[in-house]
Amino acid sequence: MKFRHSSSSFLAVFTAVLYCLSLPGARSADAQRLSQNVRPDHYTLTLTPDLKVAAFSGEETIDVTLAEAANSITLNSAEIAFQEVTVSAGGKQQTATVTSDKEKEQITFAFAEQLPAGKATLSIAYTGILNNELRGFYLSKTARRNYAVTQFESTDARRAFPSFDEPAFKATYDITLVIDAGDTAISNGPIVSDTPGPGAAKHTLKFLTTPKMSTYLVAFLVGDFQCTEGEADGVKIRGCATPDKVALTPYSVEVAKYVLHYYNTYFGIPYPLKKLDLIALPDFEAGAMENFGAITYRETAMLVDLKTASVGAKKNVALVVAHEMAHQWFGDLVTMQWWDNIWLNEGFATWMENKPVEAMHPEWNIDQMVAGDSNVTLNLDAQPTTRAIRARAETRDEIEEMFDGISYGKAGAVLLSVENFLGPETFREGVHNYLAAHLYSNATAEDFWGAQTATSHKPVDKIMESLVAQPGEPLLTFGEPAGGKVAVAQKRFFLSPSIEPDAKQKWTIPVCIKTGAPGDGHSSTGWKTGSDRQECEVLTPEASTLRAPAASLFFANAGGKGYYRSAYPASVYAALVANAESDLSPTERISLTGDEWAQLRANKATVGDYMNLVTALKDDPSAEVMASAFGGVNSIYEHVAGSAEERAALAAWMVATFGPVYARLPPPAESDSPNTRELRAHLFDVLGRAKDTAVVSQARQIAEQYLADQGSVDGTLGHTALGIAARNGDAAFFDQLQKIAETSNNPELQEGALRLLAAFEDPALVRRSLDYASSSKVRNQDALTQFAIPMQTDATRELAWTYVKDHWDTVKTLLTPELGSELVGSTGGFCSAAERDDVEAFFAGHKVPSAEHSLKHAVESINGCIELRRLQEPHLRQWIAAQGKM
Ligand SMILES: [Zn+2]
């Protein structure tokens, strides 16, 4: 699965709040696992959905094997009504007595006569509902018609068919769909027969028997989807959407063709199915879902208008397509034994998605985006409520809570550090060996690092266990390198200086010290070429020195690929800042800004120190470095500055510092690289945030021109201009954007316009946007984000929060687990004790399901902000005073 919230967005880099984040804690819950006595071998499933009345009927047989004789069989089921259940075993047929346990979402079929050990076949006739909850078998709607679609991960296959709904119960499936005559359907396998009937108004589609797979990867989608087609390595690839949007599918097919061939080569195991479909769905909660052979997407994660798309929109689609396709091997073909190891799926796909996209588009500087993402992850993992990558997940809520920044971001960063240490080809062999040993089966974390250890003959097991089983991250404090050695001390790092880490907690991690010149580091031609010039050594808990290779500059995280924070003696750090532009690669400069921001948060550096680094990087040619450096400035503006005067002084500095850099850029040209387009857009955004009057009025002009003719303005600058124009916009501009949000067929523009409605700062328009989000005109999948956006900015936060409290009866009808968590998390932007107490008191009286940990995080973020302001605001004042004297 892929989250909706791209962590690489410009301003997310350093903000304290992380949405969608919730962490499991100790909680008593009954084990809800099924018995191992009965295992499914094969499902035969015929479903007849009625899209008008939002219901379906099902006929199912499940061939099972009993290890021991039994009088009953228990499996999973939710919101299903049973008509008749029989079993045939040992040559006899019996009817079952059915009892359900709603709490556990389990159903027990009891039989008068004991079933012998061995084979048995259950036959089940039942009915279910096509719900509106974006999970199970659900209804997705457009203005024209209804669609019946599925989303089963993690535990919702049981809403569509009674099943052994756990990842290790793999089985094969024969799926048949009985649908309206004019409609089509898509499932995991290709269609093998299409016959008229039953009745004149229906036809019956049978799909090819699937390979052995987990329940959560089954999919069936019914409607009038249309597709464009392609092919790679003999596999038919289709990009499908509702008919009005099929013209926006070819880009995803192009990406999928490239990625399929890339993965076939990388994994050394051919894509295991005969076809691959990518389907964009009008209503979809997550970003995308890796159903085996039938990947589903939120429209913005798959559809692109190539004539007008921004670089960001294309990057996002390419990365999501590559992420879900990585799961076809890593997750679908070989699946984690249980949900506690979901990081194996998600961390792997998060790491893997970058490789084919980097090879396909070297000009996108994907490695720099990854370095920026690592900073976000390290900040998240430096908070006290973080968790170990592998954690307990038994109940539905605990399982859902595993899909967080730790399972994705941290696990991905850990894999990157291990790959960098072993070398890409050795790591690839380890991946191949792991997959080859568990095809169509399940595996654990130990299986993965065992394969890497056996392949590389290096202590990957110790390294990975150290990073996977312990929460948090190490801070490595280095001494002055001398005589080929450098002293190093490690301890757990917290952003907050008031937390004293447990001195006993230590890691076994690879540390790679830079040896080469800049420009050596970037590999863009696949996994076989070298990485940054470096010398790596495994730092053990006992070690207090490392080898220090001869180099003109000492930088202890080559390529920014290690999973740790670094701190240097003053003279070493000063040399790094002075030579950052000449001697560090862009990813290393991104890593350095992250380290310095961490030092500031931990009160080991001041606002002035950080601003000196930003000043040293102000002419940086890389858009990602600029975004990374500016992320901290934005946090200082939003969180450290406590008065209008301080903000005004910071804004004046931003205009004085970045205005000339922007002015020096040549005017936009057709031939501009993606980096140039993004750099220009970032600088324009910085000046817009500083309310530079010329930029604000220019933004409105560019925005109007972009809306009138999207081909006439660079899409990246156009979207940035829209953001500035909306923040400073009036009612007429609001009307204009609302119309686009309601009528545009271009998902980037449509969803973009909707999000922009939430960015207006004029109080009357903030209220109008929230009224609109509460109305039936905004899809459930989008509504709560419209509340979360104004909670991110100081200018609108209080107004939005008051609105949420005053209109809670309406807001609570929009809550789903993921989105409710997002809303609760968004309160983490406050920065005072009174506001924190208000947030806590409100949610104590108005519980949001599955958002308990989001609330803890929000409170922690507010406390972090209070502390940051208390410690750093005096330094900010000093720095401002010093600017005046310059
Ligand atoms: Zn995923």
| 631-684 pLDDT, tens digit each | 999 999 999 999 999 999 999 999 999 999 999 999 999 999 999 999 999 999
Strand ranges (E), 507-611:
509-514, 534-539, 545-547, 565-567
DSSP state of 341: G
Q: What is the DSSP string of 797-817?
A: HHHHHHHHHHTHHHHGGG--H
The CA 5 to ligand 1 mean position distance, Å, reads 13
CB 223 within 8 A of CB 184: yes
List beta partners, residue 83.
none
pLDDT in tens, 95-110: 999 999 999 999 999 9
pLDDT of residue 401: 79
Q: List the one residue out of 382, 380, 357, 381 whose CA is nearest residue 369.
A: 357
Residue 480 has pLDDT above 80, yes or no: yes
Q: Cα dihedral angle (160, 166, 168, 172), rounded to 10 degrees?
A: -10
The CA 293 to ligand 1 mean position distance, Å, reads 14
Residue 2 has pLDDT above 70, yes or no: yes
Cα separation of 261 and 214, whole Å? Answer: 25
The CA 154 to ligand 1 mean position distance, Å, reads 12
CB 375 within 8 A of CB 591: yes
Q: List the one residue out of 46, 47, 69 whose CA is nearest residue 56.
A: 47
396: left (phi over 0), alpha (psi -120 to 50) or beta: alpha
Buried b (16+ CB within 10 A) or exposed e, 375-387: bbbbbbbbbebbb
For the record, the structure tokens of 803 come out as 């609105």
pLDDT of residue 4: 57
In which band, very low, low, confident or very high, does the pLDDT at 522 lie, cut at 50, 70 and 90?
Answer: very low
Q: Report the share of the chain in percent with pLDDT over 70.
A: 94
Cα separation of 391 and 31, whole Å? Answer: 15
Residue 572's H or E segment, with its range, is: helix 570-583
Strand ranges (E), 213-336:
220-223, 226-232, 235-241, 275-281, 288-289, 294-298, 334-336
pLDDT of residue 517: 59
DSSP state of 401: H
Tell me the three state secondary structure of residue 613: helix
pLDDT of residue 614: 98
CB 240 within 8 A of CB 280: yes
The CA 343 to ligand 1 mean position distance, Å, reads 9
pLDDT of residue 13: 29
The CA 325 to ligand 1 mean position distance, Å, reads 9
For the record, the structure tokens of 79 come out as 């919101």
Cis, bond preceding 666 (omega within 30 deg of 0): no
Residue 781 has pLDDT above 90, yes or no: no
Start-to-end CA distance of the chain, whole Å, equals 52
- Cα–Cα distances (Å) from 854 to 19, 397, 639, 696, in that order, read 8, 13, 20, 35
Q: CB under 8 Å to 105, separation ≥6 — which residues?
A: 32, 76, 77, 78, 155, 158, 396
Exposed/middle/buried for 841, CB within 10 Å: 0-12, 13-18, 19+? Answer: exposed
For the record, the structure tokens of 43 come out as 């499902």
Strand ranges (E), 372-460:
441-443
pLDDT of residue 452: 98
Cα separation of 754 and 748, whole Å? Answer: 10
616 vs 23, more confident: 616
DSSP state of 491: E
Is this structure's pTM higher than 0.85?
yes
The CA 1 to ligand 1 mean position distance, Å, reads 3
The CA 320 to ligand 1 mean position distance, Å, reads 9
In which band, very low, low, confident or very high, does the pLDDT at 586 lie, cut at 50, 70 and 90?
Answer: very high
For the record, the structure tokens of 556 come out as 């202890």
Q: Is the dihedral of CA 494, 496, 497, 500 positive or negative?
A: negative
Quote the distance between the C-alpha of residue 814 and its chain's center.
22
Buried b (16+ CB within 10 A) or exposed e, 217-241: bbbbbbbebbbbebebeebebbbbb
Number of C-beta neighbours around residue 310 at 10 A: 22
Cα separation of 24 and 22, whole Å? Answer: 7
Cα separation of 357 and 239, whole Å? Answer: 18
The CA 684 to ligand 1 mean position distance, Å, reads 33
Residue 766's H or E segment, with its range, is: helix 763-774
Quote the distance between the C-alpha of residue 98 and its chain's center.
40
In which band, very low, low, confident or very high, does the pLDDT at 701 lie, cut at 50, 70 and 90?
Answer: very high
Cα separation of 439 and 828, whole Å? Answer: 43
The CA 289 to ligand 1 mean position distance, Å, reads 7
- Cα–Cα distances (Å) from 768 to 197, 303, 723, 829, 853, in that order, read 50, 29, 17, 22, 30
pLDDT in tens, 595-611: 999 999 999 999 999 99
pLDDT in tens, 29-43: 445 899 999 999 999
pLDDT of residue 783: 87
pLDDT of residue 518: 47
The CA 20 to ligand 1 mean position distance, Å, reads 14
Mean pLDDT estimate for the chain? 92
The CA 567 to ligand 1 mean position distance, Å, reads 33
Can 840 be counted among the known catalytic residues? no
The CA 462 to ligand 1 mean position distance, Å, reads 26
Residue 528 has pLDDT above 70, yes or no: no
The CA 104 to ligand 1 mean position distance, Å, reads 26
For the record, the structure tokens of 493 come out as 């790092």
Cα separation of 616 and 608, whole Å? Answer: 12
The CA 135 to ligand 1 mean position distance, Å, reads 16
Cis, bond preceding 252 (omega within 30 deg of 0): no
pLDDT in tens, 833-854: 999 999 999 999 999 877 888 8
The lowest-confidence range among 397-406, 702-711, 815-824 is 815-824
pLDDT of residue 385: 87
pLDDT of residue 748: 86
pLDDT of residue 853: 83
Please, what is the angle between helix 460-469 and helix 411-422, to 10°? 160
The CA 408 to ligand 1 mean position distance, Å, reads 8
pLDDT in tens, 143-161: 899 999 999 999 999 999 9
The CA 348 to ligand 1 mean position distance, Å, reads 8
CB 482 within 8 A of CB 499: no
In which band, very low, low, confident or very high, does the pLDDT at 878 lie, cut at 50, 70 and 90?
Answer: very high
Q: Cα dihedral angle (664, 669, 675, 678), rounded to 10 degrees?
A: 80
The CA 324 to ligand 1 mean position distance, Å, reads 6
pLDDT of residue 3: 67
Tell me the three state secondary structure of residue 514: strand
Given the residues 166, 285, 324, 860, select the one marked as catalytic.
324
Quote the distance between the C-alpha of residue 530 and its chain's center.
28
The CA 802 to ligand 1 mean position distance, Å, reads 35
Q: List the one residue out of 442, 399, 341, 402 whose CA is nearest residue 155.
A: 399
Residue 772 has pLDDT above 60, yes or no: yes
The CA 345 to ligand 1 mean position distance, Å, reads 7
Q: CB under 8 Å to 598, separation ≥6 — which residues?
A: 378, 379, 382, 475, 493, 495, 565
Residue 106's H or E segment, with its range, is: strand 106-115
**pLDDT, mean of residues 275-296:** 95
Exposed/middle/buried for 265, CB within 10 Å: 0-12, 13-18, 19+? Answer: middle
pLDDT of residue 752: 92
Q: CB under 8 Å to 214, separation ≥6 — which residues?
A: 166, 167, 168, 169, 170, 332, 335
204 vs 526, more confident: 204
The lowest-confidence range among 208-212, 317-321, 672-676, 748-752 is 748-752
In which band, very low, low, confident or very high, does the pLDDT at 532 lie, cut at 50, 70 and 90?
Answer: low
For the record, the structure tokens of 736 come out as 């204009």
Residue 814 has pLDDT above 70, yes or no: yes
In which band, very low, low, confident or very high, does the pLDDT at 872 lie, cut at 50, 70 and 90?
Answer: very high
The CA 319 to ligand 1 mean position distance, Å, reads 11
CB 769 within 8 A of CB 760: yes
